A and B are shown apart, each in its own frame.
Chain A
Amino acid sequence: MIKIINLVKSFNGQKVLDGITLEMPRGQITVVIGKSGVGKSVLLKHIVGLLKPDSGQIIVDGQDMSRLGGRKLREFKRRFGVLFQGGALFDSLNAFENIAFPLREKTRLPEAEIAQRVRDRLAQMQLTSEVETKLPDELSGGMKKRVALARAMIQEPEIMFFDEPVTGLDPPMSNTVFHLISKTHRESGYTALVVSHDLPEVFQVADQVAMLHKGRIIAAGTPEELQNHSDPVVQSFIRGEVDFLEA
Chain B
Amino acid sequence: MVNLVRQLGQRSLNIVQEAGAMLIFLLESLGLAFMPPFRPRRVLQEIYKIGVKSTLIVMLTGAFTGMVMALQGYYTLRQYGSEGALGAAVALSLIREMGPVLTGIMVSARAGSAVTAEIGIMRITEQLDALDTMAVNPMQYVVMPKLLAGIIAVPLLTAIFDVVGILGGYLVGVILLGVSSGSYFASMKQSVVALDINGGIVKSLVFGLTIILVACYKGFYTEHGAEGVSKATNQTVVLSAVLVLAWDYVLTSFFM
Residues in A with CB closer than 8 Å to B18 are: none
User: Is A189's CB within 8 Å of the partner chain B?
Assistant: no
* A91 and B130 in contact, given A78-B135, A105-B136 (Cβ under 8 angstroms): no
Q: Which residue of B lies closest to A101 (CB)?
A: B134
Who on chain A is nearest to B121 by CB?
Answer: A91
Measured between beta carbons, the chain B residues less than 8 angstroms from A49 are 132-133
Complex Cα–Cα for A51 and B216 (A): 21
Of the residues A50, A86, A91, contact of B132 by C-beta under 8 Å: A50
Is the CB–CB distance between A85 and B127 below 8 Å? Answer: no
> Does chain B have a CB within 8 A of A102?
yes
Whether B14 is near chain A, meaning CB under 8 Å from some CB there, is: no
Question: A148–B136 Cα gap in the complex (Å)?
Answer: 16
Number of contacts between A and B (CB, 8 Å)?
Answer: 44
Which A residues, 42 to 64, have Cβ-Cβ distances below 8 Å to chain B? 45, 48-50
A88 touches B135 (CB 8 A): no
C-alpha spacing A80/B134, complex, angstroms: 8
Return chain B residues, CB-CB under 8 Å to A190.
none
Nearest CB to that of B128 among chain A residues? A88
A88's partner among B37, B130, B136 (CB-CB below 8 A) is B130
Given A85-B126, A88-B127, A91-B127, verify A106-B134 contact (CB < 8 Å): yes
Confirm or deny: B198 has a beta carbon within 8 angstroms of a beta carbon on chain A.
no
In the assembled complex, which residues on chain B have CB atoms less than 8 Å from the CB atom of A77?
Answer: 132-135
* Closest chain A residue to B136, Cβ basis: A105
- Bound-state CA distance A49–B129 (Å) is 10
Residue tally, chain A, CB below 8 Å to B: 22
- How many B residues face the partner with a CB closer than 8 A? 13
CA distance A49 to B126 in the complex (A): 14
Q: Is A74 an interface residue (CB 8 A)?
A: yes
A82 on interface, CB distance cutoff 8 Å: yes
> Among A50, A74, A80, A105, which residue has its beta carbon within 8 angstroms of that of B129?
A50
Whether the pair B129, A88 counts as a contact (CB closer than 8 A) is yes
| Inter-chain contact B134/A102, CB cutoff 8 Å | yes
Interface string of B124-161 (1 = CB under 8 A from A): 01110110111110000000000000000000000000
B126 touches A80 (CB 8 A): no
* A90 interfacial by beta-carbon distance below 8 Å: yes
In this assembly, does A237 line the interface, its C-beta being within 8 Å of a C-beta of chain B? no
Query: Is A84 an interface residue when CB atoms closer than 8 A count as contact?
Result: yes
**Minimal beta-carbon separation of B34 from chain A (angstroms):** 16
Bound form: Cα–Cα A74–B136 in Å: 8
Do A106 and B135 touch across chains, with their CB atoms under 8 A apart? yes
- Asked if B134 and A105 make an inter-chain contact with CB atoms under 8 angstroms apart, the answer reads yes
Query: In the assembled complex, how far is the CB of residue A122 from the closest CB belonging to chain B, in whole angstroms?
Result: 19
Contact between chains at A80 and B121 (CB < 8 Å): no
Residues from 79 to 134 in A contacting B, C-beta threshold 8 Å: 80-82, 84-86, 88-91, 101-102, 105-106
Rounded to whole angstroms, the CA-CA distance of A102 and B134 in the bound complex is 7
On whether the beta carbons of B126 and A88 are closer than 8 Å, the reply is yes
Q: List 12 A-B contacts (CB under 8 A).
A: A49-B132, A74-B135, A77-B133, A84-B126, A84-B130, A88-B129, A88-B130, A90-B127, A90-B130, A101-B134, A105-B136, A106-B134
Residues of B within 8 A of A (CB): 37, 121-122, 125-127, 129-130, 132-136
A residues apposed to B, CB below 8 Å? 45, 48-50, 74-75, 77-78, 80-82, 84-86, 88-91, 101-102, 105-106
Which 8 pairs, one residue from A and one from B, show the smallest C-beta to C-beta distance? A88-B130, A88-B126, A77-B135, A74-B135, A82-B133, A84-B126, A102-B134, A88-B127
